[in-house]
Chains A and B, each alone.
Chain A
Amino acid sequence: GAVVSQHPSRVICKSGTSVKIECRSLDFQATTMFWYRQFPKKSLMLMATSNEGSKATYEQGVEKDKFLINHASLTLSTLTVTSAHPEDSSFYICSARSGTSAYNEQFFGPGTRLTVL
């Protein structure tokens, strides 16, 4: 149980275009989903927290107009990188928290490697 999928796993796009990344909880309902960014050999950096049916909460320094998050259902959250630039190239990982978890474990997706040319 507790499987989270992400799509696509890799994406290459041109500068100025927008890219959408999907995060799905496959076998549980995720009351809260999180989006992280990770640089090579570094720990995860939280970008935003999204709760189903409400606006995402962004961490300090993360541009909400650039990284659009939609948590439309209890099993799906999307991250759209708008007007992407080479500096947005990174590994993006989502995680999902089950409302039934007493210990706040998060289950992570496999990540999406974004390369902006």
Chain B
Amino acid sequence: TQLLEQSPQFLSIQEGENLTVYCNSSSVFSSLQWYRQEPGEGPVLLVTVVTGGEVKKLKRLTFQFGDARKDSSLHITAAQPGDTGLYLCAGTPRGSGGSNYKLTFGKGTLLTVNP
């Protein structure tokens, strides 16, 4: 059973289009992170959301944490080829602090933005 369902798994769009990536769970998360990974490199932390209903913006990227802290979304406006990469959501289910703070990862969304 996948604790964090991430969709879509693959997304290929044209430069200038908008897109949304979803991360859903039946569990409540204490916090949730979004990472972006380029080929041959490690994931880079984009944002951490911790409060239900929270919205954070990072230039053309908008991150939202659901009111119940069970889901999150990443919206990219006017995508550019430089946005190409693997986007990963990850989080710590509430009440799992004793398990060495392991992160639970979604399966990832492989985004390709064509020029």
Contact = CB atoms under 8 A, between A and B. Distances in A.
Interface of A: 2, 4, 6, 32, 34, 41-44, 46, 49, 51, 57, 91, 93, 95, 97, 103-111, 113
A103 B48 CA distance: 8
6 contacts: A6-B42, A43-B106, A44-B88, A97-B101, A105-B48, A110-B41
Given A43-B86, A108-B45, 13 more contacts: A32-B101, A42-B108, A43-B108, A46-B103, A51-B100, A97-B101, A105-B48, A107-B45, A108-B43, A108-B44, A110-B41, A110-B42, A111-B41
Contacts of A44: 43, 88, 105
B88 A46 contact: no
Interface of A is mostly: strand
A57 B41 contact: no
A106 B42 CA distance: 11
Interface string B7-21: 000000000000000
B interface, size bucket:
20 to 34
A41 B101 contact: no
Contacts of B105: 43-44
B110 A103 contact: no
Contacts of B101: 32, 97, 104
A68 to B, nearest CB: 18
B56 interface: no
Counting from the closest, the 3 A-B pairs by CB-CB distance are A108-B42, A103-B31, A43-B108
Interface in B57-115: 86, 88, 90, 92, 100-103, 105-108, 110
Contacts of B86: 41, 43
B28 interface: no
B30 interface: yes
